[in-house]
A and B are shown apart, each in its own frame.
Chain A
């Protein structure tokens, strides 16, 4: 059992815990929290793919570190994850705005409570 195995296991299980929440919960805010858990898991998975055993931080700190560039971890997934976290915040804010609008029009946060009222209202 190595370090990257541990991170692969924890990130895949985070993704599937979040997927379970999205599939089974009935509250909209709970579903958004599950989506955020999926996002955290996918960020961990991407960074774990770039990790290698005994790797170093991809920052030059001394004149010696330039001779050991092959020891550094992969910096490209880190750069991708850096932008993906910020976009995740933007989409979460937009989804919360839609949630507040839904609550104002329907009066509830449950996704299946109001089906019958909808039908009678239209008839």
Chain B
């Protein structure tokens, strides 16, 4: 059961990573990258690393996305 769930999570992670690379919209790519980080933090829990999981969820999925979106606003507002 855990093995199936881990396989499913890895599949979701790889699929969303490919989506980030291929989508033409920048804002969409940034939001989907947050999903990659979130699923990665669940994978860290599967690998018995709760410290790393908390750090990845708060920094990788939270603050990195916030900084990317603030920069995106700064870059796109003049157009």
Contact = CB atoms under 8 A, between A and B. Distances in A.
Contact of A96 (B21, B40, B67): B67
Nearest to A55: B48
B48 A57 contact: yes
B75 A109 contact: yes
Interface in B14-34: 14, 17-18, 20-21, 26, 29-30, 33
A82 interface: yes
B74 to A, nearest CB: 5
Contacts of A44: 40, 43-44
Contact of A47 (B13, B20, B30, B44): B44
B6 A17 contact: no
Contacts of B51: 78, 82
Nearest to B13: A10
Given A17-B18, A81-B52, A99-B71, A37 B33 contact: yes
Q: Select the residue from B2, B29, B71 with max chain A CB neighbours within 10 A.
A: B71
A29 B68 contact: yes
A21 B21 contact: yes
Interface of A: 1-3, 6-7, 9-10, 13-14, 17-18, 20-21, 25, 27, 29-30, 32-34, 36-37, 40, 43-44, 47-48, 50-51, 55-59, 73, 78, 81-82, 85-86, 88-89, 92-93, 96, 99-100, 103, 109
15 contacts: A3-B3, A17-B18, A29-B30, A29-B68, A29-B72, A30-B21, A37-B33, A43-B52, A44-B40, A47-B52, A85-B52, A85-B60, A89-B64, A92-B67, A99-B71
